[in-house]
Chain A
Amino acid sequence: MQDSLKSSSYQQLEQKSKYTNMFLRWFLYFILILFASYFIFPLYVMVVTSLKTMEEIRQGTLLSWPSGLNLESWAVAWGGRGYGAGDTFLRPYFWNSIKMVVPAVFFSTFIGAMTGYVLTKWRFKGDQWVFLFLLFGCFIPFQAILLPMARTLGVLGISNSVVGLVLVHTVYGIPFTTLFFRNYYISVPTELVKAARIDGAGFFKIFFKILLPISAPIIVVTVIWQFTQIWNDFLFGSTFSFGEAAPIQVALNNMVLSSTSVKEYNVDMASAIIAGIPTLIVYVLAGKYFIRGLTSGAVKG
Chain B
Amino acid sequence: MKTLKIEELSKNFGSTEVLKKINLEIDEGNFLVLLGPSGCGKSTLLNIIAGLETINEGDVFIDDYNVSKVEPKDRNIAMVFQSYALYPSMNVRENMIFGLKQAKTSKEKIQEQLEKVSKFLQVDQLLERKPSQLSGGQRQRVAIGRALVREPRIFLFDEPLSNLDAKLRVEMRREIKKLHQQLKTTVVYVTHDQTEAMSLGTNIAIMNHGVIQQNDTPEKIYNNPSNTFVADFIGSPSMNLIKGILKENSEDLLFTVSGSNLEIPIKDYDFKDKSNLNNKEVFFGIRPEHIFFKKFNESDFEINLRADLSEYIGHEQIMTFDYANQELLAKFPSTIKIDLGKETKLYFDLTQASLFDAQTEERI
Which residues of A line the B interface, CB within 8 A? 189, 191-192, 194-201, 205, 209-210, 213-214, 299-301
Contact indicator B89/A191 (Cβ below 8 Å)? no
Contact indicator B85/A195 (Cβ below 8 Å)? yes
Contact indicator A198/B78 (Cβ below 8 Å)? yes
Contact indicator A199/B89 (Cβ below 8 Å)? no
Closest residue of chain B to A190 (Cβ to Cβ) is: B85
Our count of residue pairs bridging A and B at CB distance below 8 angstroms stands at 67
* CB-CB under 8 A for A194 and B50, given A201-B102, A300-B132: yes
In the complex, what residues of B have CB within 8 A of residue A189's CB? 83, 85
* CB-CB under 8 A for A210 and B77, given A189-B83, A301-B83: no
In the complex, what residues of A have CB within 8 A of residue B82's CB? 191
* CB-CB under 8 A for A301 and B103, given A191-B81, A197-B72: no
**Most chain A beta-carbon neighbours within 10 Å: one of B50, B52, B78, B87:** B87
Contact indicator A301/B79 (Cβ below 8 Å)? no
Name B77-118 residues within 8 Å CB distance of A: 77-79, 81-89, 98-99, 102-103
- 25 A-B residue pairings within 8 Å (CB atoms): A191-B82, A191-B158, A192-B88, A194-B79, A195-B87, A195-B146, A196-B87, A197-B72, A197-B73, A198-B72, A200-B73, A200-B99, A200-B103, A201-B102, A210-B87, A213-B89, A214-B88, A214-B89, A300-B88, A300-B132, A301-B83, A301-B84, A301-B88, A301-B131, A301-B132
4 pairs of A and B residues whose beta carbons are closest in the complex: A213-B89, A200-B102, A200-B73, A199-B99
In whole angstroms, how far apart are the Cα atoms of A206 and B131 in the complex?
A: 18
Contact indicator A191/B85 (Cβ below 8 Å)? yes
In the complex, what residues of B have CB within 8 A of residue A194's CB? 47, 50, 52, 79, 81, 85
* Per-residue A-contact encoding for B320-348, CB less than 8 Å = 1, 0 else: 00000000000000000000000000000
Min C-beta distance of B42 to chain A, whole Å: 16
In the complex, what residues of A have CB within 8 A of residue B72's CB? 197-198
In whole angstroms, how far apart are the Cα atoms of A234 and B98 in the complex?
A: 48
In the complex, what residues of A have CB within 8 A of residue B89's CB? 209-210, 213-214
In whole angstroms, how far apart are the Cα atoms of A301 and B89 in the complex?
A: 9
In whole angstroms, how far apart are the Cα atoms of A301 and B88 in the complex?
A: 5
In whole angstroms, how far apart are the Cα atoms of A151 and B88 in the complex?
A: 46
In whole angstroms, how far apart are the Cα atoms of A4 and B292 in the complex?
A: 67
Residue from the list A199, A214, A300 in contact with B73, Cβ < 8 A? A199
Contact indicator B85/A301 (Cβ below 8 Å)? yes
In whole angstroms, how far apart are the Cα atoms of A199 and B131 in the complex?
A: 17
Closest residue of chain A to B84 (Cβ to Cβ) is: A301
In whole angstroms, how far apart are the Cα atoms of A194 and B99 in the complex?
A: 12
Residue from the list A191, A199, A200 in contact with B83, Cβ < 8 A? A191
Closest residue of chain A to B88 (Cβ to Cβ) is: A301
* CB-CB under 8 A for A299 and B88, given A197-B72, A199-B98: yes
In the complex, what residues of B have CB within 8 A of residue A198's CB? 50-52, 72-73, 77-79, 99
In whole angstroms, how far apart are the Cα atoms of A219 and B88 in the complex?
A: 17
Name B45-84 residues within 8 Å CB distance of A: 47, 50-52, 72-73, 77-79, 81-84
